[in-house]
Structure 1
Amino acid sequence: MFATINDLWARWPAHPDIPEETAEAFLSDASDLITDLFEIPSSPDEALGRTLRRITVAMTRRALTRFGEDGLESVTDSQGPFSTSMKFSNPDGNLYVTKQEREAIENALAPSAGDFVVTQSSGW
């Protein structure tokens, strides 16, 4: 796994009451999804490790927001005869990588892609 339960709770201090086993399962699933989508080295360097941890936590948090009010997209309340409806942004708790996260992982995987390289050649 690219992130631990402590990483998740540190980045989400007001998290709803979620069983640790559930959160750990989602962290594991998010890590697996990242591994399925990208060629992650078996021993990522420090910069890549930080990126993977951050994105794993973000994916997990999005999936777990259905357990609390963080995931509410809209709430409608009527007064009489008492009606309330709530719409969640991710009601099924799906794990996904955003475009920004995809770019961050790709950049972390190829840190020297934009570097300037000087080469010397000799004669014709």
Structure 2
Amino acid sequence: MWGCVMYATVADLEARWRTLTSDEQARAGVLLEDAAVRLDALCAPSVPPTSQELASRLIVSCEMVKRAMVTGSSGSGGLGVTSVQQGAGPYQETVQFSNPTGDLYLTKADKALLGCGKQTAFTVSMAPDPAPVTLVWWPL
């Protein structure tokens, strides 16, 4: 990509989730690049990043990609499903996915791990700056 630093590899994702098919590996590689760009845009690391920041970004990158890939994947085992309704007659079933479009996003837990998105307090003085003080020395 454009000199982007990826925080996780496909092997990292597989170690934290499951073995991927070759098609899934190709998609995961692209999504991991996208996740790195989003992380840098939403929560910029320090320069140079600390080992804690890099470890956090690895975990969050994998979680973001897993959330994006789990929706609609065969054999997902119900992961990514928030609601299931079934009926007996006229044979109805409804499944609602938590991320139906497969978006990459940060959860509150991700933001907490990254240390971004926190509220900060500051003050802004509404009074004009006082006139500069000039010291005049009078000879004795």
- The answer to whether the superposition gives a TM-score over 0.5 is yes
Q: Show the 5 A alignment for 1:83-102.
A: 83-102=92-111
In structure 2, what is the equivalent of residue 38 of structure 1?
43
Partner of 1:23: 28
Aligned counterparts of 1:82 and 1:17: Cα–Cα separation in 2: 36
1:31, CA displacement in angstroms?
0.9
Higher Rg: 2
What's the TM-score once normalised by structure 2's chain length?
A: 0.66
Match of 1:47 among 38, 44, 52: 52
**Aligned mates of 1:76, 1:101 — CA distance in 2:** 30
Q: Choose 16-25 or 78-87, whichever is displaced more.
A: 16-25
* Aligned-pair identity (%): 29
Separation in 2, partners of 1:102, 1:2 = 16
TM-score (norm 1): 0.74
Which position in structure 2 is the counterpart of 1:118? none
Closer/same/farther in 2, CA of residues 18 and 43 from structure 1, 3 Å limit: farther
1:57 alignment partner in structure 2: 62
Aligned with 1:75: secondary structure? strand
Q: What is the alpha-carbon distance in structure 2 between the residues aligned to residue 71 and residue 27 of structure 1? A: 19
Within the candidate set 10, 14, 27, 1:5 is matched to 10
Q: Distance in 2 between matches of 1:24 and 1:45?
A: 24
Q: What residue number does 2:119 align with?
A: none
> Which fold has the larger relative contact order, with Cα–Cα distance below 8 Å and residues 6 or more apart in sequence?
1
Write the mapping of 1:71-82 to structure 2, written as runs, cut at 5 A.
71-82=80-91
**1:70 maps to which residue?**
79
User: What runs of 5+ residues in structure 2 fail to find an aligned partner?
Assistant: 1-5, 117-140
Q: Flag structure 1 segments of 5+ consecutive residues without an equivalent.
A: 108-124
Return structure 1 stretches of 4+ with deviation > 3 angstroms. Answer: 14-18
Aligned length: 107
> What is residue 116 of structure 1 aligned with on the other side?
none
The separation in 1 between residues aligned to 2:93 and 2:22, in whole angstroms, is 23
